Structure 1
Amino acid sequence: MFSNLETVLKELGNILVMLGVLMFSLLVVAYFFGKLYVIIKPLLLTAFIAIAFGSLLRYSFRHAKEPEFKHAMVCVALVWLVIPALSSLLFILIEYMSPLDSFFEAMSGWTGTGLTMIAHPFSLTHTMQFWRSLMQWVGGVGVIVLMLSILAHPGTGTFALYKAEARVEKIKPSVISTVRMTWWIYLILTSFGILLFFFAGMKPWEAINHAMTAIGTGCFTITDKSMSAYNNFLIELAVIPMMILGALPFLVHYKVLKGNFKAFFKDMQCRAFVVILFILLVSLFALNYSLYGNVFSCLRYSSFQLISGLTCTGFQTTSVYEWSGAGLLIVCMSMIIGGGAGSTAGGVKLIRAVIAYKWIGWSLRKNFLPPRALKPLRFGDRVLEREEVVKIVADTSLIIILWLLFLFLGICVLSLVVGSQFQLGDVIFEVASAQGNVGLSTGITNAGMSCIGKLMLILNMWIGRLEIIPVLMLLRVLVKGFEPI
């Protein structure tokens, strides 16, 4: 038992040290804007706590064994609680927010959700504006991926940690080269976004922050009304491709950057994204046309909100509170489906939607066709054996069922705490947004909501980012220990 715990705590220590070092980047921002005196004490205190505690764990358990997959799963679930908890200290000490609101804000940031307790982000110090953006930027790829790119060494433990943070696909032969290439691609896309937003009309500081959160498919902004604050069609046109790029797999980006432009059209998830977007957009346009009264406005606002939902980004250019229940349901569906596996997006993931669709179609054909006429099930270029099909479908079904169960739990709890102030459709939308790590809101989420509601949405954000299984593993270990697991 203790040897297993030592392994988990050692890896946690590595990540806490990395968090403390990451916080020092805020000193540059504070110095540049002449506000170093405002944040120097709380920042150094928070960074010191992270580095000191992390170093203590690393030294105390330096002889711990290499992590196996069971350790990695528990470690990842624990990390995604501890990192937001420590990060919340900056909101408490600098912005004087309550501990629960601070933890909510940090969890929303690191998970790339974007639901916020801060009514006026524009009034925050530049340092805290950047901290919110940095959390979403790093959290989009994953704190484990960041640690592995800096501290990892070859071995099975590295792959276990990489896989535990809901990542399986490798760009390069080794995990270490994969995570480092992922960060290079991420930096290229972020730089592209900064330039795109600047030339579209944003100020440099706005372009930097919004490019970071857009490519990380988060939706923290430094304006008080998300993207609707600009009311600028050109900026909206610039934001849309960045949201889409963030929701596409890094493997596709890698192939395209290497010159293989056909990779986008060959990828199952990319094709599914286009098809799903088209079907949902046509439906949403038909429902919203009477609300907006003209083709341009209806297409402008419907497409932006839908793409924001499907990519799990969460930027808003209009209030969805006035939309019909059917319109909200369509956006809910997009948030539940989510973006591509191997991207920064949340949701159930496009690959699971594709697997479910193919399995249902194949099962129906099996009932109507003779065995000799039935073609084997294919995923991309792969023809799957029966054993592979059973395993893939079982894993996919498990995640989808658990995802929907926790969604239902969140809906029940939030419905009880908001009472008659909001309709059921608004509640479903809010919980789907939290668990899908999206950030679109009907107005339920705010600093004045009940503590129970905040805690429920925190749970939804946490399990949504980790795709549930690591959370269940952690709970199981807390109750029964590691052996057997």
Structure 2
Amino acid sequence: MNKTFIKQIASLQIILGLVMLIPSVPAVIYQEWYSLSGFLIAGTFTALLGFLIYRLLKSTEEPGHEHSLAIAASGWLMIMVLGALPYLIIAWLTPAEVMQGFVPAGEVYTSSLMNFRNPLHCLFESTSAFTTTGFTMAYHEPSVGNAVLFYRSFSQWVGGAGFIVMSLAVFKSLPGHGGVLLYGSEAHGTKLRTNVIHTARAIWKVYFVITLFMVVYLAAGTYFILPEYPLSQTIFDAVNHALTGQSTGGFSTLDKSIAGYKSAKMEILYILPMLLGGLSIPFYYRFLFQRQVDELWNDLQTRSFITGSVFGGIALSLFLMYSGSVEDPFREGLFQFVSAMSTTGWQTSDIDAWDNTSVLFVVAGAMIIGGCAGGTVGGIKIIRAQLLQKGLRWYIHKIFYPKSAINTVKFNGKRMLPEEMKSELVGAGLFTFIYMLFLFFSTLLTLFFMEGDFTLSDAIFEAASAQGTVGLSSGMVSPGMSPVIESVYIVQMWTGRIEIIPVLVLLRILVYGTKPKII
């Protein structure tokens, strides 16, 4: 079984190597030769090593459920670690004077590419990219070069749909029960077709179509809103922001994220990509390819996400208006709530200046909940939140029923027997409890090691942003942050992307092995 374990991780390594090689194209286009060398070295090494291991392990057994979860956890850890290589290699290959050439004219700061000479910063950036979080050590994004900017965006896009999903689609491996288990460990049961490989391909088909629409939408919108903006930069921004918008990753090509456009109309333009990114792939498949137009309202998650974004945005705007902490509360409140709930993380407001009520409202009402399951979002997901509130109502009402009555529950278009409802509630409740436990301890560590004049609400906000793979920051996340906090957030982003349980299974295997153990 160890061979199966290693072979599946090797297949992910091949995919990762190819992902590293693709940014060589913009490196050639923009004549960033040191970046080109870095991507070629890192990509070739990673892909060849993975290929050799994959070929050596031709015949292997199918993984069991516990192994598939451990493969997901260790595979993603490998992706995070090896995905950091291009940042590190490029930072050390590129001379300081060449780095400074990336700094926009008129600016006097040091190129942020210099930050990636620190291996921990490289690991942090890689983790944030592939888990679609959006925290960054590239403090001034334009100063790292266009090829590295594209690598960050492309990493988020690939990480959003999932490496295991891509591996199944490309390698056609494990079409039987093992493939179903391995697929479920990352995609959490998203099912579009009867065959798992066909499902994986359908996911990427939907994902690509929506992303292509975003590219056209953002390019056209920017051209008409900002006609003086350079056309080449318009196209570059549109491609990168479409990749990070659909993946709800939130990396940007601009200093200060979307606020860098200094345009209210551009902020309005960017609300739609965040909303589209927060929806589920199964919804898109039914809506676009099966022409089930009524799903726009009948689908519980879609309806809840859209209405929650609207009313949550209005509520946050009112909180900000009452506090008087920002100049334009409705403009900033609506944008930031949608950004938080979709876990995209694009930022247009100085969150450090917000009052505690507004900060905690975003954490509880958006970051922790997140968007739709079956998509690229973080958080506990809307469907779990809906299930928990439905379960609470069901539990209270059943007290008043006769003991002989079978009190079925209607949820998300289907009826469940009491035992089924209890099982679903246990799963959702257990995950939510573990999620909040991780958040609690990471907040304590943040409080203990943070520096400066940050407050408890800032610590909660940053920890929730890392755990929910959101990427919004009050300013704490920076190259000067404590290495302990940086390491804690790396773990949080990792567990947040694969929903914690695979990591716990991996730890259990490392400690006790795969044999059953009486507790």
Name the TM-score, length of structure 2 as normaliser. 0.89
Corresponding position: 1:242 with 2:276: no
Q: Letter of the aligned partner of 1:271 in structure 2? A: R
SS in structure 1 of the partner of residue 249 of structure 2: coil
- Name the stretch that deviates more: 231-240 or 364-373: 364-373
Tell me which residue corresponds to 2:284: 253
Q: Hey, what does 1:149 align to over in structure 2?
A: 169
Relative to 1, partners in 2 of residues 1:369 and 1:277: Cα closer, same or farther, differing over 3 Å?
A: farther
Mapping 1:368-379, distance limit 5 Å? 368-370=400-402, 375-379=407-411
Aligned to 1:45: 41
Give the secondary structure class of the aligned counterpart of 1:165.
Answer: helix
Contact 2:318-2:330 at 8 Å conserved across structures: no
What is the one-letter code of the residue matched to 1:176? I
Q: Does 1:277 align with 2:317?
A: no
Tell me if the contact between 2:28 and 2:36 (Cα under 8 Å) persists in the aligned partners: no
| Of 481, 484, 500, the match for 1:449 | 481
The answer to whether the 8 A contact 2:250-2:346 is kept is: yes
SS in 2 for 1:337: coil
| Conservation of the 8 A alpha-carbon contact between 2:407 and 2:417 | no
Q: Which whole-Å deviations, capped at 9, do the CAs of 1:216-253 have from their partners, x for residues lacking one? A: 00111111100000122222222111111111111111
Tell whether the 8 Å contact from 1:365 to 1:374 is kept in structure 2 after alignment: no
Separation in 2 of the partners of 1:441 and 1:150?
36
Cα drift, residue 116 of structure 1: 0.8
Instruction: Tell me the CA shift for residue 53 of structure 1.
Output: 2.2
> Aligned equivalents of 2:403 and 2:285: distance in 1?
40
Question: Is 2:20 the partner of 1:10?
Answer: no
Equivalent residue in structure 2 for 1:183, among 159, 181, 204:
204
Moved more, 443-452 or 15-24: 15-24
Structure 2 CA distance for aligned equivalents of residues 207 and 277 of structure 1: 24
Aligned partners of 2:336, 2:171: CA distance in 1, in Å? 39
Give the Cα–Cα distance (whole angstroms) in 1 for the partners of residues 126 and 311 of structure 2: 35
Q: Which amino acid in the other structure matches residue 71 of structure 1?
A: H
Q: Tell me by how many angstroms 1:16 deviates.
A: 0.6
Residue of 434, 444, 464 corresponding to 1:402: 434
Is 2:45 the partner of 1:25?
Answer: no
> What is the CA distance between 1:312 and its match in structure 2?
0.5
TM-score, scaled to structure 1: 0.95
Given that residues 72 and 186 in structure 2 are in contact (C-alpha distance below 8 angstroms), is that contact kept between their aligned partners in structure 1? yes
SS in 2 for 1:163: helix
Aligned partner of 1:210 among 229, 241, 251: 241
Say whether the 8 Å CA contact 2:215–2:242 is kept in structure 1: yes
> Do structure 1's residue 113 and structure 2's residue 133 form an aligned pair?
yes
3-state secondary structure, aligned to 1:482: coil
1:342 to 360, 363, 374: 374
Is it true that 1:364 corresponds to 2:396 in the alignment?
yes
Aligned mates of 1:316, 1:148 — CA distance in 2: 35
Q: For residue 177 of structure 2, what is the amino acid of its counterpart?
A: T
d(CA) in 1 for partners of 2:156 and 2:499? 18
CA contact (8 A) 1:338 1:348 kept: yes
2:156 aligned with 1:139, yes or no? Answer: no
Higher RCO structure, 1 or 2 (CA under 8 Å, sep 6+): 1
The alignment's C-alpha RMSD in Å is 1.8
Alignment gaps of 5+ in structure 2:
93-115, 224-233
Q: Hey, what's the Cα distance between the residues in 2 that align with 1:302 and 1:135?
A: 29
Q: CA separation in 2, counterparts of 1:49 and 1:421?
A: 44
Conservation of the 8 A alpha-carbon contact between 2:461 and 2:473:
yes
- Following superposition, the deviation at residue 292 of structure 1 comes to 5.3
| Residue 38 of structure 1: how far off its partner (Å) | 1.6
2:463 paired residue number: 431
Q: Could you say if the C-alpha distance between residues 233 and 62 of structure 1 is closer, same or farther in structure 2, counting changes exceeding 3 Å?
A: same
Residue identity matched to 2:145: T
Q: How many Å separate the matches in 2 of 1:369 and 1:233? A: 54
Contact 1:431/1:457 (<8 A) preserved: yes
1:324 is aligned to 355
Find the counterpart in structure 1 of residue 192 from structure 2.
Answer: 171
Contact 1:12 1:57 in 2 (8 A): no
What's the counterpart of residue 83 of structure 1? 79
SS in structure 1 opposite 2:23? helix
Q: Partner amino acid for 1:167?
A: H
Count of aligned pairs between the two proteins: 480
- Equivalent position of 1:460 in the other structure: 492
Equivalent of 2:68, from 68, 72, 96?
Answer: 72
- Deviation, 1:420, is 5.8
Identity %: 34
Gaps of 5+ in 1: none
